[in-house]
Amino acid sequence: MTLNPSLDRTIEVDRLTRGEMIRTRSARLDPGGKGVNVSRALLAAGVPSTAVVTIGGPEGDQLRRLLSDEGLTVRAVPVHGHTRSNVAIAEPGGVVTKLNEPGGRLSAAELAEVAEVIAAESVAAGWVAGCGSLPPGVPDDLYADLCARLTAAGIRVAIDSSGPALRAALPAGPDLVKPNREELAEAVGRPVGTLADVVTAARELRSLGARAVLVSLGADGAVLVDDDGVVAGESPVDRPRSTVGAGDALLAGFLAAGARGAGALAEALAWGAAAVRLPASRMPRPADLRRDLVRIHAVPDLDRPLVP
């Protein structure tokens, strides 16, 4: 489910300098939004999913066409607001500057229609993933309500969001939350500078209700904290091109691999690293995966500082 999808334009430049005219090396337009990217990554690997999205205005019409062209199974809910457009400027080495619009407001009736679609689509689902930021005016507890309804029906729920929406979802007992380093620090209200800080913060989210916490750490890999303990890993990327959508690919790989244990974490790392090697927000196909580069640490070095 992506309540705040987007048109994502990624522009590659040699160097971004404020106030100057810059010639671009390439530009690409992709459908965007965290949940959309999860579905795109699953589709690229041949794993079935349904993308539930809100669609509004001419931008929404264009997003619908892009999703259709990629072959995604989509349940689009028409809304009166507009679908946002985001711009990512990618420099060599994987440095990305993002400009994200807030998106249009959703009415109570539109949210109720989304809930009906989710209820219908979740009947045969292995997982329901609520992903991304909430549009302006949407209650912070929306993911919490979604989680409470679905978990009561025995459906597993993953939440990939941030800020108040993530915090509000925790007491509802999501089966999985997937913050990145910044989102984790925001959720616990303090910096996370070492692997030990990450593990402590993840355990705090578990104490608030999350059953498992998968933290994406960029160049530092990822950490999984669940009932079985702590496992960490990384997958080096020598020539990064774009980090846009890499965390979404990581989540998709984790879900596709069973969403539990070191094996699922290893697959997630392979998918996330593959996305970083690709331009813009392209999602990796099986041929792009380098599982041989993944390193898993059942006993991670908790004192290791993270890349600034």
Residue 13 C-alpha from the chain's centroid: 25
CA distances from 12 to 87, 189, 219, 264, 284 (A): 11, 34, 20, 32, 19
**DSSP SS3 for 215:** strand
Pick the catalytic residue from 8, 141, 220, 248: 248
Given the DSSP bridges, would you call strands 50-55 and 24-32 parallel, antiparallel or unpaired? unpaired
Given the DSSP bridges, would you call strands 176-177 and 156-160 parallel, antiparallel or unpaired? parallel
What is the C-alpha to C-alpha distance for residues 102 and 86, in angstroms, rounded to an integer?
A: 9
**Helices within the chain (DSSP H only):** 34-44, 57-70, 108-121, 142-152, 163-169, 181-188, 195-207, 246-256, 261-276
Q: Record the tokens describing residue 263, joined without a space.
A: 């094996």
Residue 5 C-alpha from the chain's centroid: 12
Q: Record the tokens describing residue 54, joined without a space.
A: 């809100």
Contacting residues for 225 by C-beta, under 8 A, at least 6 apart = 199, 202, 203, 206, 212, 213, 215
Q: Please state the φ and ψ torsions of residue 232, each to the nearest 5 degrees.
A: -130, 165
What is the C-alpha to C-alpha distance for residues 36 and 120, in angstroms, rounded to an integer?
A: 18
Question: Is 248 considered catalytic here?
Answer: yes
Token pair 């989102």: residue: 183
Q: Record the tokens describing residue 197, joined without a space.
A: 């800080």
Catalytic positions, please? 248
